[in-house]
Amino acid sequence: MEVSEVFEKVKGLFVEELGIDSEKITMDAKLEEDLEIDSLGIVEVVMAFEDEFEIEIDDEELADVGTVGQAVNLLQSKL
Amino acid sequence: MTKQRVVVTGLGTINPLGNNVSDTWQNLINGVSGIDYISLFDASNLPVTFAGEVKNFDANEYMGKQNARKLDRSGQLSIFAAEEAIKDAGFNINEPLGDDFGIIFGTGIGGIGATENAVRVYDERGSSRISPLAITQLMPNSSTGQVAIKYGIRGPSLTITTACAASANAIGEAKRMIEQNIVSKVLVGGTESGTTSMTIGAFAQIKALSKQNDEPKKACKPFDKNRDGFVMAEGSTVLILESEESAKRRNANIHGYVSGYGSSTDAHHITAPSEGGEGAVRAMKDAIADADIESKSIDYINAHGTSTPANDLNETLAIKSLFGDDAYNVKISSTKSMTGHLLGGGGAFEAMATILSIKNGKIPPTINLENPDEDCDLNYTPTKYVEKKLNIAMSNSFGFGGHNAVLIFNAE
């Protein structure tokens, strides 16, 4: 799957599942500061990714994920 | 320090009769029923298919989906009602209310809808799919915490869960907090949204609910011979309580005075009232003593009046026991005949209704009271409102568990 395709799916999840304004969602957007996703929200995001992409994400893999772009890259590497 | 007098400077509500104080009051006086067939979920498999639902409320539109989804409906309603009350009290909702502001919410069953949803997910998909928001939605103190965050309330906080007496207890405890100079202002609320499938099913199992499915608006008939149970309802009501000193210093509009609070426990049975309403009598006596008045000076009683056979009979006996011959002179009504039973949100709603009754000199009716019960023979203001100058009024709230909370309000 292309990076752009993964990004569009992630964007769709953020809008549909979390109710985030689609204009805010860019590759550079910071999950906590820009999108106001708190620690509980991160758990939801991971669950949504796991369901959408049929993968499993470990806590350790999340340690370096702070932006939408980093999340997209992590997901693409697992597909 | 002298004991502070406690006033009400703000009111806000969302309930089956209206999404603000003004519409709610008009409907209370006009004898409108807020009960109808359940629309929030498919209730066709339940023995009871009607309830008092909040109408025309879209939480996503009101607070944005990103915020709305973090809250159970009971919490969404609390945030909404709190906004109206805070504005009504003359505070700016965009500035933190600060350290000299306490918060107490009463609720019977907290985020029970969120609990039901989480259990469904667990059963269908396992523990790894339970929403990380489930706990913060379902915990009974969710409204207390979320309203405090939203409006920057940083004084003492409590959540009271004495079932259907919860938010009456909340008002009483807030009164004490202010009297004792702990804080000068307290946001007090009651909230409930138990109009959900398992909860209605469970209340129906203990034969607490009316099953008059053919005529929902007529089902709740407190003190009527044909009453057969209460009607489940949802909503939130918020009051701003304040020391008289603080209210006058900032020139706030005073709706009325919270002058008496009494509470007691039946220690008898987990759902049935004690014989002759003995526990209720003790709470009423304590409230009257706290208000430093005599029972005969009470002009109006906003009854607990649930429309269950046991409550309405025992509340009547309790009033007779306390008032003696004067019982036949005091005006009584049950606003639950119109709202249904707001459970833990009932005490705050009925406190608001009582304060507005005093302020407007009008007693809301007990609708659907068309066939008097010979054992319930007091003046319950049947079907139509009554105009009467009111100086002092009492509001009763009783809960499963044997909890009794009674409040007294004064015009001045």
Q: For the segment A11-29, what is each residue's pLDDT rounded down to a tens digit?
A: 999 998 888 999 999 999 9
pLDDT exceeds cutoff 70 at B85? yes
Give the minimum alpha-carbon distance from B198 to chain A in angstroms, rounded to a whole number. Answer: 25
pLDDT for residue B13: 98
Q: For the segment B106-135, what is each residue's pLDDT rounded down to a tens digit?
A: 999 999 999 999 999 999 999 999 999 999
**Residues of A numbered 9-48 whose beta carbons fall under 8 angstroms of chain B's beta carbons: which are they?**
18-20, 36, 40-41, 43-44, 47
Nearest CA in chain B to A50: B129
Neighbours of B72 (CB within 10 A): 27
- Which residues, 6 or more positions from B123, have their beta carbon under 8 angstroms from its beta carbon? none
Average pLDDT estimate for B327-332: 97
Range B333-372 burial, b when 16+ CB lie within 10 A, else e: bbbbbbbbbbbbbbbbbbbbbbbbbbbeebbbbbbbbeee
Task: Provide DSSP, B231-256.
Answer: -BB-EEEEEEEEEHHHHHHTTPPP-E
Chain B residues whose CB is inside 8 A of the A40 CB are: 70, 132-133, 136
Beta strands B185-192; B235-243: pairing state: antiparallel
Interface ipTM: 0.85
pLDDT exceeds cutoff 70 at B1? no
Kind plus residue range of the DSSP H or E element containing B323: helix B309-323
Contact by Cβ (8 Å): B355, B11? yes
pLDDT for residue B84: 98
pLDDT for residue A17: 86
Chain B residues whose CB is inside 8 A of the A43 CB are: 132
Chain A residues whose CB is inside 8 A of the B66 CB are: 18-20, 36
Which CATH code is given to the segment(s) B6-256?
3.40.47.10
Does the fold of domain B261-410 match that of domain B6-256?
A: yes
Which CATH code is given to the segment(s) B261-410?
3.40.47.10
Structure tokens at B50: 């009607």
Q: For the segment B256-274, what is each residue's pLDDT rounded down to a tens digit?
A: 999 999 999 999 999 999 9
Contact by Cβ (8 Å): B56, B225? no
Using the Cβ of B125 and the Cβ atoms of chain A, whether some distance falls under 8 Å is answered with no
Residue A5: CA atoms inside 13 Å, Cβ hemisphere, count?
6
Average pLDDT estimate for A55-59: 91
At residue B388 the predicted structure's pLDDT band, cuts being 50, 70 and 90, is: very high
- Best of B63, B65, B71, B142 to disrupt the A interface (most A CBs within 10 Å) is B65
pLDDT exceeds cutoff 80 at B2? no
Nearest CA in chain B to A43: B132
Chain B residues whose CB is inside 8 A of the A20 CB are: 66
Q: How far apart are CA B45 and CA B122, in angstroms?
A: 22
Q: For the segment B264-320, what is each residue's pLDDT rounded down to a tens digit?
A: 999 999 999 999 999 999 999 999 999 999 999 999 999 999 999 999 999 999 999
CA B321 to chain centre: 25
Structure tokens at B27: 């409907």
Q: Give the nearest partner residue to A44 out of B64, B67, B131, using CB atoms.
A: B131
pLDDT exceeds cutoff 90 at B147? yes
Crossing angle for the helix pair B73-88 and B142-151, nearest 10 degrees? 40
Contact by Cβ (8 Å): B171, B261? yes
pLDDT exceeds cutoff 70 at B65? yes
Instruction: State percent of chain B over pLDDT 70.
Output: 100
Structure tokens at B300: 């109006």
> In terms of residues, how long is chain B?
412
Instruction: Report how many Cβ contacts below 8 Å link chain A to chain B.
Output: 26
B133–A36 CB contact, under 8 Å:
no
CA B26 to chain centre: 18
**Residues of B numbered 70-89 whose beta carbons fall under 8 angstroms of chain A's beta carbons: which are they?**
70
Average pLDDT estimate for B131-155: 97
Given A34, A38, A58, A64, the catalytic residue: A38
Tell me the domain boundaries of chain B.
Answer: 6-256, 261-410
Q: For A31-40, B213-222, B357-366, which range has the lowest pLDDT when averaged over its residues?
A: A31-40
Indicate the SS3 state at residue B311.
helix
Q: Catalytic annotation on A38?
A: yes
Neighbours of A39 (CB within 10 A): 8
Question: Residue B96: what are its φ and ψ, rounded to 5°?
Answer: -55, 140
Structure tokens at B64: 């944005």
